[in-house]
Structure 1
């Protein structure tokens, strides 16, 4: 079995974060979260249990919706989606997400696709995982320039959903809504606390010596590199092919 790739660490971490969910929804451009959900399903079924239902927007095989995002929003509002993923051009220490652009809105110097239904899903999905592979101070800022979706809400505002974690290419953070703020839970192999501090624009809690993110065992890697990459290729063929090319390069 070849060395574990950095993206395999992310996929396996997502599978652990999703443990216990019944239904997870994944956006149309989210191959790593989709792979994590598929890995959890494969692990559950390999152990004789029922895996979670996975809805990937844009997929034919892994999506029971027939009317796109409209049904996704209805399903979430009815409490039938347990987990979802959000990214953002900017994310701050309060869990606020910016999907609109940088600068003084509406005269933004850089424009992104827009908020879409992020605020709605952030409020109604109980287990939202913030995911951004790039970990730099331009992404993780002290305060977002525009709040597309707030991480927390004022007292008296009914809210059943919100962030539970932030996963990046360098580490895993847990979100404490009572403070509110992030705490570094683990550091991925090849990175360290000093590097993460330098690359993060907001303050976060951490142990003096944070632990390393757990690596997958051989049976988990076998499922990931076999069944999961096969399933993933239906929706994300280029990503699955690239992962396999990367594995060949490591073995060479």
Structure 2
């Protein structure tokens, strides 16, 4: 499945010996974290909204907040995770906004005028609090277009603009990093079906092409994802 390449690209951005936070309804982020730990042998600690501390294994369900995470794992309440962020000890945070702009602002609140939105989104929860504090942000969006990657978001739910942290963006067309010195997004990798022309045509702001390295997904990694997701819930995310 194409979404598996996005998951692999997200897993590649996770470093060794990092504490990784997975939010609500984030199946790609959840699978990326376990792929990084168990198949790419990165000694990471996985925490998140399910309030479990580094569970041994999982089976994907519709909600990444499902208490099944507690099976065989110590409890770690959300407040403790937020404390890690405040102390500068939260290494990686995943976030899947509906809109991302050229300055790292994200929108999970509303599309259109806030007072009379055309689409009301689920809201940002702790997005505004955590975005500047996590040492590395991995944003993801599976519908790379000028409607999702915009010059300016309709509503600023959160931003990393005033932080010094690392910010990455993974979509169905590209892997990008935000270069703070240049003030722009830079493409560093692509899935096998993407191209420079597709990326430029479908992005609502200028991007720089640093590399078109192809994301590689191996057979054993696909089998591992199938094992974690026996109901194939991630297929609903296909693009």
TM-score, normalized by length of structure 2? 0.81
Cα RMSD between the aligned structures?
A: 2.4
- Look up the match of 1:117: 126
How far off is 1:119 after superposition? Answer: 1.3
Match of 1:33 in 2: 29
**Is 1:74 aligned to residue 83 of structure 2?**
yes
Distance in 1 of aligned mates of 2:17 and 2:148: 28
State the partner residue of 2:207.
204
How far, CA to CA, are the matches of 2:158 and 2:120 in structure 1? 16
Contact 2:190-2:215 within 8 A present in 1 as well? no
Q: CA deviation at 1:64?
A: 4.4
Contact 1:21 1:83 in 2 (8 A): no
The residue aligned with 1:222 is: 220
SS at match of 2:157: coil
List 4+ stretches of structure 1 deviating above 6 A: none
- Which region of structure 1 is more displaced relative to structure 2, 125-134 or 51-60? 51-60
Q: For the residues of structure 2 that align with 1:206 and 1:119, how far apart are their CA atoms? A: 29
Q: 1:184·1:204 contact (CA, 8 Å) conserved in 2?
A: yes
The reply on whether 1:134 has 2:143 as its aligned counterpart is yes
In the alignment, the residues of structure 2 paired with residue 44 and residue 64 of structure 1 have an alpha-carbon distance, to the nearest angstrom, of: 24
Aligned equivalents of 1:164, 1:215: Cα separation in 2: 22
1:36-72 superposed Cα distances (whole Å, 9 cap, x missing partner): 1101111354xxxx621112421433664453x3333
**Preserved CA contact (<8 Å) 2:107 2:156:** yes
Q: Is the 8 A contact 2:26 2:96 kept in 1?
A: no
Equivalent residues of 2:226, 2:232 under 8 A apart: no
Q: Give the greater-gyration-radius structure (CA).
A: 1
Q: 1:90, 1:144 within 8 Å by CA — same for their partners in 2?
A: yes
Q: For residues 164 and 133 of structure 2, what CA distance do their matches in structure 1 show?
A: 5
CA distance in 2, matches of 1:75, 1:64: 16
- Give CA-to-partner distance per residue, 1:87-117, whole Å, 9 cap, x none: 2121111111011112233333321111211
d(CA) in 1 for partners of 2:87, 2:171:
30
Distance (whole Å) between structure 1 residues aligned to residue 226 and residue 174 of structure 2: 23
**Is it true that 1:146 corresponds to 2:140 in the alignment?**
no
Equivalent position of 1:250 in the other structure: none
| Cα distance between partner residues in 2 of 1:171 and 1:118 | 23
1:38 and 1:198 mapped to 2: Cα distance?
33
Indicate the SS of the match to 2:208: coil
Q: CA deviation at 1:223?
A: 4.1
Residue 59 (structure 2) aligns with: none
Question: Using a 3 Å threshold, how does the CA distance of structure 1 residues 178 and 21 change in structure 2: closer, same or farther?
Answer: farther
2:56 corresponding residue in structure 1: none
Contact 1:86 1:129 in 2 (8 A): yes
The structural deviation recorded for 1:174 is 1.2
Aligned mates of 1:76, 1:124 — CA distance in 2: 6
Shift in alpha-carbon separation, 1:54–1:224, aligned structure 2, 3 A: farther
* Residue 185 of structure 1: how far off its partner (Å): 1.4
Are 2:62 and 1:54 aligned?
Answer: no
SS at match of 1:144: coil
Partner Cα separation in structure 2 for residue 118 and residue 211 of structure 1 = 30
> Structure 2: how far apart are the matches of 1:201 and 1:137?
5
Residue 186 of structure 1 corresponds to which residue in structure 2? 189
